[in-house]
Chains A and B, each alone.
Chain A
Amino acid sequence: MTLPQTAVEIRRAIAAGRASASEICEATLERITALDSLLGAFRTVDSERARRRAAELDRHQNDLSGLPLLGVPIAIKDNICTRGLRTTASSRILESYLPPYDATVIERLESAGAIIVGKTNCDEFAMGSSTENSAYGATRNPWQTDRIPGGSSGGSAAAVAARMVPLSLGSDTGGSIRQPAALCGIVGLKPTYGRVSRYGLLAFASSLDQIGPLATSVEDVGLVLSVIAGHDPRDATSSRDPVPDFNTDTSADSLKGTRIGVPRALLREGVDSGVLAAFDQALAVLEERGASLIDVELLHSRHAIPVYYLIATAEASSNLARYDGGRYGVRADASTLMAMYEQTRGSGFGAEVKRRIMLGTYVLSAGYYDAYYLKAQQVRTLIKADYDTALANVDLVAMPTSPTPAFPLGERIEDPIQMYLADVFTVGANLAGLPAISVPCGFTAEGLPVGLQLTGRPMDEATVLHAAAAYEHVTPWSREIPSLVKNAA
């Protein structure tokens, strides 16, 4: 018998007694054992914890059959706190950190019946676009293992793309869910800022960070969002807006009446020809499904990368001050408090994290605050205003998720600016706080996945998910599986 693959199928099969949570769990652990030595998607796999949990769910299956994620295995990015399960943010400074509490999203997933199987590799403290900034080694792209999986949630994307797990959670500060989802050929959603509680997410840039799901289908992503969304008194920025049911299958419905904006001027330079070709075909499909395409202008988005890196590093320099060797993490031996701080942080953080803390410290320092940080916040206002204007006239904005497909490992690691440019189309949604999805939309000539990004109005994930599902419904891309995975099966 073939076991169910997607979260929706797994839940149905377990609830109906056609499969047990333990069977699904064993199959998941077997696939991780078979594939992860090639990919390095996981930082920690806790098979005992997963087995115990699956057995417990099976014992109470009769009472739990209504749970939305009953028996569904999920992998968690290693910057989200899991009580008693090592959480390093892929940093040396948290080498053996065992959080004393669960993030709100973890509590909600477990209450919904999900099984946490492990923690996934990422760029250190989510700072990067390739997952090469992990202190524990890079993750590889399942489509071509000499290439990066994207980042910073590269482990979460690779684990799902390789079908080791049906679901994962990532975090997205400037594209860290959507870009790796695109580069690995899966679906990834950054919800509206405030839609999902950030309690228990190791903070990188608090005005931009948001937790979201990765999966092989739009339906599964909606299912997870329904579980993790909603107000949390422990996150003062979490929204009190009601949470609609995102787990409705509207994929067969027409897109008639949906207006999709395309910022053509922004796409004129620096976009790979294979990416652009796949994007244009995707627009044609959306049009066939009934959507109308409208030119929109996001004039100030050409400055989005510097604005993002000035703001995000400033916030990071403050957020990462807490890692000082005092209350948790590793500590360097030193005779004075100041030396302890400097040596702990100097040896505990990797190069990219130190670079960003330095940049953020500089742009916040006396004499430069107005020229850089304040200026960037003013341009942020203009970038957001462009989106507001566009979204007053259209329901969604369409762009490629990433300007290029997955690049070779090592290609950009010595050149921070080239690495930062990977986020050119994704940072806008973070600066403006908007929900945005990446859905697979084809392959380049060299066989690398391309993602279509759809950005919506605040709190309107429903329209984003509907359009993505309608697109997915008539295209084969989400169902393509890397040959490495097929050969292992």
Chain B
Amino acid sequence: MRFAFNDDQKMLRDTVREVLQRECAPEVVRAAWEGRAQGVRAVWGTLAETGVIGMTASEEAGGMGMSELDLLLPLEETGYAALPGPIVDTVAVGIPLLEAAGSDAQKEQWLGPAVAGEARVVVSFEDRPIVPYAASADVLIAERGGAAYCVPITEVSVSPEQSVDRARELGRVSFELSAGYRMREDVNAAALLALGRERAALGTAAQLIGLCRRMLDMAVQYAKDREQFGKPIGAQQAIKHRLANALIEQEFARPPVYRAGWSMATSARDAEVDVSLAKIYAGQAAKFVAKEALQVHGAIGYTIECDLHMWMKRAWALAAAHGDAAHHRERIGRYIL
């Protein structure tokens, strides 16, 4: 029994952290909000150079053959930076699906470019026709009628929907269910898609942990800097206890997420129960930390001039995405009750 990441995993986390610190400052997220995505494009390219974008592809496909567990810390960092872009879709779900279920032609066309960071993959599960970052993606992998499709985005109709988190550039996707887009039929597509759902939930949970950490960092810094009654507001017990509660929520959400990553990476029995627990805990923590961080910021936190709102809105969206608490609680309920 050993509950800790290894040096390679921490090194990869540090690399991603460094890239995002340098290239994904809050101004970049803000620019994405305003429809200027050049900055985000550039980060994607740099992340691809570090190998993170292609990390889940096999070595033959130019990747690093890394597992769900290896993914967690890099994805956590993308949450910390509120990186806009379909990184969970592409890295956790899309690339593994392409490799496992793509036809030779589909792989030829998309796998290499996706691994190289030149093609962004978005995923639409049956019950999720509204897809973040669809308009700026290159290829859509979709589950329709239990089958898997791989469709160039140029062949997809993307009608814009507006997210409370403008950086997520939502679009409702539809396309002609033509046989030409079908992925391989000699593999168990349903099982692979189901696995994709678990990966999406897990990757989202990891991002939620990163969001928590950033919002808490912002709130703690604000509590140290902001003075009222002649001293920092963070010296007041009422503020201290809110932030202590936020830290507890966050720190108790992390081990379940890491556990779920290990369970998936090792195909442990009942891994989906661990994923559900991780998603619920990470979502609850992110929503809680968001609320406390807002309260600690006071009125300035209630504006869109303050960066906090971009993290908060991402947290609301991701806490509900890929199975909200009710969905995942039901899965756990079926398991234990």
Q: Do the two chains belong together in a single complex? A: no
Chain A residues within 8 Å of B, Cβ to Cβ: none
Residues in B lying within 8 Å of A, measured CB to CB: none
